[in-house]
Amino acid sequence: MSTENEGNAVPPAPSAPPVPVDTPPASGDGAAQAPKTPAPSPDRPSGEVAAAPSASAEGAPGQEPTARQPVLGAGAGAEQAQAQAHQQGAPPPPAYPAPAPQGGASPHGGQGAPYGAPQPGVYGGEPGHPGQPGHPGQQPGAAGEWPPPPPPSVPSYAAGGGGGEWGASYQQPQRPPGPRRRGGLVAGVIVAALVAGGVGGGVGYWAAERGDNSTGSTTVSASDNPAVTKRDASSVAGIAQRALPSVVTIEAQGGNGEGSTGTGFVYDKQGHILTNNHVVASGASGGKLSATFSNGKKYDAEVVGRAEGYDVAVVKLKNASGLKPLALGKSDQVAVGDSTIAIGAPFGLSNTVTTGIVSAKNRPVASSDGASSKNSYMSALQTDASINPGNSGGPLLDARGAVIGINSAIQSGGGDGMGGSGQSGSVGLGFAIPINQAKNVADQLIKTGQPVYPLIGASVSLEEGAGGATISEQGPGGGAAVTKNGPADKAGLKSGDVITKLDDTVIDSGPTLIGEIWTHQPHDKVKITYKRGGSQHTVDLTLGQRKGDSDS
């Protein structure tokens, strides 16, 4: 569609084309002659006769030549036709100029074209030529040019685009009155676009509703049942939701730039955090400590006390308030097979929750923080919940969400514990300090800043698989293996004796004996079973104590 003349008014089609009439010649005396009304020709419909314009004689003084525009028909018949057209809302017909006489000058100054031939610049001419409406060029019927050029044989909007004679029948196009405007076209395009968009959206919705998927995959959505998404308080999700706000990720950095990452949890309402000694050891002397909660709040911290032998430490947060401690359970009431939940920051991934069961109890474990030759000993809870480096110091929870242990060590494929130099992952063997023992140590550290260890007053071999804990021939530094007037001395124990039981617990090595003793309190009375010279003996013994960490 051409847009050359968008916005220009289109001339309405006449109800019938005008009939050209020869211009009467001027009289010799210059007097104006009345126009003659020619009789209808056989090829013209009756009543379709145009009146010729009157013209004054050339050279008549005081008179200008005038031209009367052709009208459709003559007399009352034409007026009646115009009145009916007006009543029906049809636009008035255009007035066409009368054709030039044969042999007269054309509007372009050349020889006149034959009667009925299309003229350039008039409606029947080619678009874009001079004189076409909307383009520059000579205008027909200009002042002083009489007669004007003849009209085209057929208007350009007639059926077939031309080729007929004047008076040939054709169907008049029905056009609304008034000029056409660009706005109507633009509005029509917009409406069409909106309709097309609506149809496209409707088709897409229809296809989606019927599973019309080009990949051939049909999925099923779960129902939005509030009962399904509501977590029971006793579920793992419910327990984790309550516990996570009380768990922190601890970052420790020593004066030499070395550091470590571990976990801790809120121990009491005073803001003390319970964790492992090997988590904070690097930042304990002249280093820096910080603790970050699950909500992103970060606090500076300081060491209150730490026990190397127990692998327990207590730190205090600075300027912290509103802390909620985790509930403490009873580790001596735990049974093998009970559910466990471990929370920590394995490999620095904070707020990680894993689950498992208690796979064993009273498992003797000796571990080291890797920074000293001193080991820690525990009679541990064993769990298959995934525990990795970074979980150290985090809580091990039971099915109620109560703390039953502090995650401390793992058995890795390389044999390194959590405090070792290896970074192997979990193989399903994790170990936690029983919370009963950890609570006793924490209370001592908060009260005095120093740990207190129960002891029997005898040095034992640390060899594994000896069938028991053998009392050494010499003690640390070359001294006596059995402390004079100590608990073992008073009970009659000597170097070379092999202790096989502590109360009802079987002792298979020195570390096992130490770990089992440290589950007790100083001054507790225990029953010792031992072998000497092939004979088995049983004695009662009251445990002594040692304050602080030392090599003795």
Catalytic residue positions? 278, 311, 392
Got the DSSP string for 198-242? Answer: HHHHHHHHHHHHTT--TT-----PPP--HHHHSPPTTSHHHHHHH
For residue 436, what is the DSSP state? H
User: How far, in Å, are 52, 153, 167, 302, 328 from residue 43 at the CA level?
Assistant: 19, 14, 7, 120, 119
Phi, psi of 446, deg, nearest 5:
-70, -35
Q: Are 78 and 37 in contact (CB under 8 A)?
A: no
Q: Which two tokens stand for residue 363?
A: 């498992």
Is the C-alpha dihedral spanning 355, 361, 365, 367 positive or negative? positive
Got the DSSP string for 447-470? Answer: HHSS-EEEE-SB-B---SSSSSEE
Beta bridge partners of 308: none
Our CA angle for 448, 450, 452, nearest 5°, is 105
Is the C-alpha dihedral spanning 38, 42, 48, 50 positive or negative? negative
Using DSSP's 3-state secondary structure scheme, residue 33 falls into: coil
Which of 434, 400, 249 is CA-nearest to residue 326? 400
Using DSSP's 3-state secondary structure scheme, residue 275 falls into: strand
Separation of alpha carbons 540 and 528, rounded Å: 6
Separation of alpha carbons 518 and 310, rounded Å: 8
Q: Which two tokens stand for residue 127?
A: 């678009």
Beta bridge partners of 471: 460
Got the DSSP string for 377-412? Answer: EEEEEEE-S---TT-TT-EEE-TTS-EEEEEEEE--
For residue 159, what is the DSSP state? G
Tell me the one-letter amino acid at 380: A
Q: Are 10 and 177 in contact (CB under 8 A)?
A: no
Beta bridge partners of 528: 502, 539
Q: Which two tokens stand for residue 539?
A: 């004695």
Buried b (16+ CB within 10 A) or exposed e, 386-396: bbbbbbbbbbb
Q: Are 147 and 141 in contact (CB under 8 A)?
A: no
CB count within 10 Å of CB 402 equals 17
Tell me the one-letter amino acid at 200: G
User: How far, in Å, are 313, 365, 396 from residue 440 at the CA level?
Assistant: 12, 19, 17
Count of residues in the chain:
552
